Amino acid sequence: MILVDRYIEIAIWFGAFDNEKLVGCIRVCGVDENKLLEFEHCPDSQVVQGYLNGVDRTNCLELGKLAVANEYMGRGVVDMLLLASFRFCAGNQYSAITLSSHGYLKALYRRIAFPLKKERAFKCDPNGSTFVNFYFANFENAEVVATLKNLEYLESDSTNKRTNVFNTLEAIKPIMPTPFYWMDCSGVVLGINDLCLDAIGTTREIVGKRPYDFYRKEIADHILAHNVRVIQSGEILSQEEWIEDVTTKEKKCFSAIKAPLYDDEGMIIGIIGTSIEVTAEREAERLRSEKFEQQKKITNFARKVAHDLNSPIAALKVMVLNCSELPAEKLNMLTRTIDRFSSISKNLLDIKDDNALEVTSSEPQKILALYDLVSEVVNEKRIQYRINPITFDLIADMDTQSAIVKIQSGEFKRSLSNLINNSVDSIANDQEGFISVNLLVDGEMVIMRLRDNGKGMPVDAIEKIKNKVGFTEGKINGHGLGLMQVWDMLNANLGKFAISSKQGDGTLIEISFPISLN
């Protein structure tokens, strides 16, 4: 929609093409039927009207609607489009006006001395937050011709400046102690050292080629999409790249770190990157994951065996009670043996493994006031975190304090403790924090709302919680067991769970249970 043109009768478009493919465009536009340029329809533009006093607007062209395809960023397309525009203005004796908030364009305009009349002049969108610079090259003052000459010099000199950079990289390539390579903005490999060649299993024949020439499409797509993000952001970025060894076709994983490659004038002309193989580390992670899954299966099997043992153990206990004719010594030995079996069975049922995500509990339910359980935990947390600058509030009216639920009290208190610990962890050490627990009755449910003013959670973390996916967020020694225990507790006690959070704006968790009538 940025290219929709409401001045189609009076606008001229210039395009940059790669063969027949349009890869960039710019519009030059004169005044409309009211003798106004497009920017003058913005209410805030009045601050720059003084620069146009005495200027015949019909002899002015506004440069705008500049767009370049992502994969052609940094390849000189912008320079060519501006050259076409200024040559048109100079050849037809037009003054040139433009507005820009784009960092790259503002830097380019400084280099070509496009006259800046007012910095941060006004906001084109009154409701937005971005100010634009106002540029005006007056043809009558020879400013258009001067700017054009600077553009032409920049274009003619850019090849030499890029060559200087590439020559420098070639010179240091043999002595660099780490794998590295560089590409232009379209992804063509311009240079690579021997360490990098050895790592990916190829020769210098890849120089002058794009990843599509030696990798499968999905691999090349992944690599080049990362290049584009580096070029567009101007930042150093990293990602993992799974490739196939060009010679052996063996799959390898690399940690790729890429940075923008600049010419002598500070223009981005490509990327420079290093790739460190991490295949062994990822293979170790895969084996750990497989071991983890195996441990879960063993744990579940052990619990199932323990569960199945409970029935014959109970039968043996009944039989012992009816074996009074046995000698006391043998009866005592049999009783101790059965107790031992019972202890082993209980230990299997209660097995806890740091890598196992399934937690079970055999705790019986009790009919209790939920307020009493919540109050006990909150008071414990006040003591536990007494040195933290955190306020704990418990809010409950008389009806809520007497609301009775049927619940596993120990499991509930452990769940609430885990949730409050998560809230505390989300509050920065130097932040005045608050954690409030509010109890209320809604129809046949008693509801507990836990709110904090911590850092909140990203959308992907919220989705994991809602989908009951075990994970840990920001904890070095976390295993994701806390939330799993909460879900197990809710399932066992007919509880319901809801969460809402926004990064930077805290978290609200709501847990509810049916009120017990007996």
**Which residues, listed in sequence order, are joined to residue 61 by a DSSP beta bridge?**
96
Q: Which residue has the tokens 């960092």?
A: 103
Q: How far is CA 309 from the centre of its chain?
A: 48
Distance CA 207, CA 266 (A): 24
Structure confidence by residue, pLDDT tens digits, 450-497: 999 999 988 888 888 888 776 555 554 443 446 777 888 888 899 999
The top-scoring range by mean pLDDT among 192-201, 242-251, 279-288 is 192-201
pLDDT in the model for residue 91: 95
Instruction: Assess contact for 81 and 14: CB atoms under 8 A.
Output: yes
pLDDT in the model for residue 359: 42
% of the chain surpassing 70 pLDDT:
86
CA distances from 238 to 85, 212, 257 (A): 38, 20, 4
Architecture of domain 11-157: 3-Layer(aba) Sandwich (3.40)
Distance CA 234, CA 302 (A): 55
pLDDT in the model for residue 464: 85
- Shortest CA distance to 4 belongs to which of 65, 61, 47, 49? 65
Distance CA 386, CA 274 (A): 48
**Which residues, listed in sequence order, are joined to residue 406 by a DSSP beta bridge?**
367
pLDDT in the model for residue 8: 57
pLDDT in the model for residue 355: 43
Confidence at 157, pLDDT banded by 50, 70, 90? low
Instruction: Assess contact for 516 and 442: CB atoms under 8 A.
Output: no
pLDDT in the model for residue 357: 40
Q: Is 62 or 243 the better-scoring residue by pLDDT?
A: 62
Count of helices and strands (H, E) across the chain: 12, 18
Q: Which two tokens stand for residue 119?
A: 């910095």
Instruction: Assess contact for 206 and 182: CB atoms under 8 A.
Output: no
Q: What is the average pLDDT across 136-157?
A: 90
Q: What is the average pLDDT across 295-303?
A: 74
**DSSP state for residue 112 in the 8-state scheme:** T
pLDDT for 290 beyond 50: yes
H-type alpha helices, 426-480? 459-466
Architecture of domain 366-514: 2-Layer Sandwich (3.30)
Instruction: Assess contact for 349 and 362: CB atoms under 8 A.
Output: yes
Q: Is 158 or 123 the better-scoring residue by pLDDT?
A: 123
Return the minimum-mean-pLDDT range out of 307-316, 328-337, 367-376. Answer: 328-337
- Shortest CA distance to 49 belongs to which of 125, 60, 113? 60
Domain edges within the chain: 11-157, 176-277, 287-349, 366-514
Structure confidence by residue, pLDDT tens digits, 181-217: 999 888 999 999 988 888 888 777 888 899 999 889 9
The amino acid present at 97, given as its one-letter code, is I
Question: Which H or E run includes 117?
Answer: strand 116-122
Instruction: Assess contact for 259 and 180: CB atoms under 8 A.
Output: no
- Does the domain formed by 176-277 have CATH 3.30.450.20? yes
Q: How far is CA 336 from the centre of its chain?
A: 58
Q: What is the average pLDDT across 61-87?
A: 88
Q: Which two tokens stand for residue 157?
A: 């000199």
Return the minimum-mean-pLDDT range out of 133-147, 153-167, 214-228. Answer: 153-167
- Shortest CA distance to 187 belongs to which of 154, 233, 219? 219
**DSSP state for residue 125 in the 8-state scheme:** S
